[in-house]
Chain A
Amino acid sequence: QVQLVESGGGLVKPGGSLRLSCAVSGFTFSHYYMSWIRQAPGKGLEWVSYISSSSTYTNYADSVKGRFTISRDNAKNSLSLQMNSLRAEDTAVYFCARLTVDPAGDPDYFDYWGQGTLVTVSS
């Protein structure tokens, strides 16, 4: 069955860095776009970033552009999110999710989600 397992969350000081990972199994990882979505405590969902199946294309929310970098290793079935210059407002549970594209090749819906990893940015 499809499994996505995030890791790497924790407590970090403002201005610090953290790298999240997502280990994937149960489908052909190299065939799918992947994404990170976050949820601040008690708040709604916010899309963070996505990456195409072969890493050709990446996209970021304006709130993280220039600070976060998404990457993937298709040989290891692994997705990563490097987070730099962290701010208090980045505090959230970070979910990795499989992103299915529409027939035109455009991002469409998130059909499988991991359980999330909590990132807390505080001094």
Chain B
Amino acid sequence: QSVLTQPPSASGTPGQRVTISCSGSSSNIGTNTVNWYQQLPRTAPKLLIYSNNQRPSGVPDRFSGSKSGTSASLAISGLQSEDEADYYCAAYDDSLNGPVFGGGTKLTVL
């Protein structure tokens, strides 16, 4: 059971907008920033969004992040086939004294 809760799966058609939720608590998302990672099939995770809504250099602006209270969301607009991947949210947890991840959401592009 992961500390952060994500839906196990999500799907959309090319061009569509998809959102993935991440629910936490006051000791993690409620207090600290949220980061998102993309893991393409058979590859290492890659930083997608940091500090709730910042994109590293090279990440398309189709990807955006937001946070409200103890929840966060990742939005992907103009969905493309290459976006098919696993997506993980993460935050530092002050009670557990360490970073925690969500269980991951498998995104399928139909």
Q: How far is the CA of A100 from the CA of B51 in the complex (A)?
A: 11
Contacts of A107 in B (CB 8 A): 92, 99
- Please give the distance in Å from A44's CB to the nearest CB on chain B: 4
- Inter-subunit contact A108/B44 (CB<8 Å): no
Contacts A45-B101, A47-B99, A47-B101: A113 and B51 contacting too (C-beta < 8 A)?
A: no
Q: How far is the CA of A108 from the CA of B34 in the complex (A)?
A: 9
Q: Tell me whether chain A's interface is mostly helix, strand or loop, or mixed.
A: strand
Contacts A44-B2, A45-B45, A114-B44: A109 and B97 contacting too (C-beta < 8 A)?
A: no
Contacts of B104 in A (CB 8 A): 44-45
Q: What count of chain A residues pass the 8 Å CB interface test?
A: 25
Chain A residues in the interface with B (C-beta under 8 A): 35, 37, 44-47, 50, 59-62, 95, 100, 102, 106-116
Shortest beta-carbon contacts, A-B, top 9: A109-B35, A44-B104, A113-B44, A47-B99, A109-B50, A45-B101, A44-B103, A111-B47, A115-B44
Chain B residues in the interface with A (C-beta under 8 A): 2, 32-33, 35, 37, 43-47, 50-51, 56, 88, 90, 92, 96-104
- Inter-subunit contact A108/B33 (CB<8 Å): yes
Can you report 5 residue pairs joining A to B where beta carbons are below 8 Å apart? A44-B102, A47-B101, A109-B35, A110-B90, A110-B99
- Please give the distance in Å from B104's CB to the nearest CB on chain A: 4
